[in-house]
Amino acid sequence: MKEIKRKSKPKRKPTRMEVEEIETSDKPQPEDGESANGEANPSDEGDEMELASFKAACSSSDPAKKIKKGIIYISNIPKHMTLTRLREILGEYGGIGRAFLRSQSSKHHNILFAEGWVEFKSKHVAKQLVLLLNNKQISTRNNSPFYYSLWSMEYLPRFKWARLAELMNFVQVTNSQNHLEFLKKKAKEAKEVKKAMKVLADRLLELPLDSNI
């Protein structure tokens, strides 16, 4: 019988175990509040200006909600204040829609305004603006014509611009009627004076020439 030789499996050469090294960076990691280049983040700067903080507070409202308009009433308009200047000053705090200033009298060369209404595109901005500016200086610059003037404003809840138009039309009609009544009264007084003068003249004509008046 033939001998069966057992085939031995070839021996594998031992391989080195590969060790994975984790590379570590010698550079320091940025600390909290710093960027990668070591500069401070803008959010860690000092307190912002009052105007900037006001805008931030007003813009924090829920954008999903429908923005409603708000109207403020200004009861005292200082001298040299015009509609354009008023829109420039208040427009820095938020978007302005319509604005109206009622003049005291159109007879003056320099028109003086008695009161005004300003419509803001956001009711929230209008409310916060009244809280911020009411009874405050209009301008803090010494050379400003409004340095000694204070804001006197009030938020008008549930007030619509159409209502203001109705009020202005009513005032205009009332003033026209009052003016017409005034003219009628003056005409009546003048007529009575003319009648009295005629009676007096007739009596003077009836008197004899040699009588003492």
Q: What is the pLDDT of residues 106-146, one digit of tens each?
A: 565 567 898 999 999 999 999 999 999 999 999 988 999 99
Mean pLDDT lowest for which of 35-39, 148-152, 171-175? 35-39
Residue type, 149: S
Q: Kindly indicate the confidence band of residue 6, based on its pLDDT and cuts at 50, 70 and 90.
A: low
- Mean pLDDT, the chain, whole residue set: 73
- Terminus-to-terminus CA distance in the chain, angstroms? 188
pLDDT at 111: 74
Per-residue confidence band for 169, with pLDDT thresholds at 50, 70 and 90: confident
Q: Would you give the DSSP letter of residue 150? A: B
Cα gap 186→96, rounded to integer Å: 45
Segment 129-137 long-range contacts (CB within 8 Å, at least 24 positions apart): 129/54, 129/72, 129/90, 129/93, 129/94, 129/153, 130/72, 130/154, 130/155, 132/50, 132/54, 132/93
Q: Worst-scoring range by mean pLDDT, 36-40, 168-172, 203-207?
A: 36-40
Contact call for residues 119 and 96 (beta carbons, < 8 A): yes
The helix (H) or strand (E) run that includes residue 161 is: helix 161-206
- The alpha-carbon radius of gyration of the chain (Å, integer) is 43
Using CA atoms, how far apart are residues 19 and 39, in angstroms rounded to an integer? 38
Q: Which residue would you say has higher pLDDT here, 46 or 78?
A: 78
| Domains defined along the chain, listed by start | 65-159 (3.30.70.330)
Task: pLDDT band for 206, please (50, 70, 90 cuts).
Answer: confident
Confidence of residue 17 (pLDDT cuts 50, 70, 90): very low
Contact, 114 vs 104, CB < 8 A?
yes
Position 7 pLDDT exceeds 80:
no
The closest alpha carbon to 104, from 161, 193, 175, belongs to 175
Torsion sign, CA atoms 117, 123, 126, 130: positive
- pLDDT band, residue 162 (cuts 50/70/90): confident
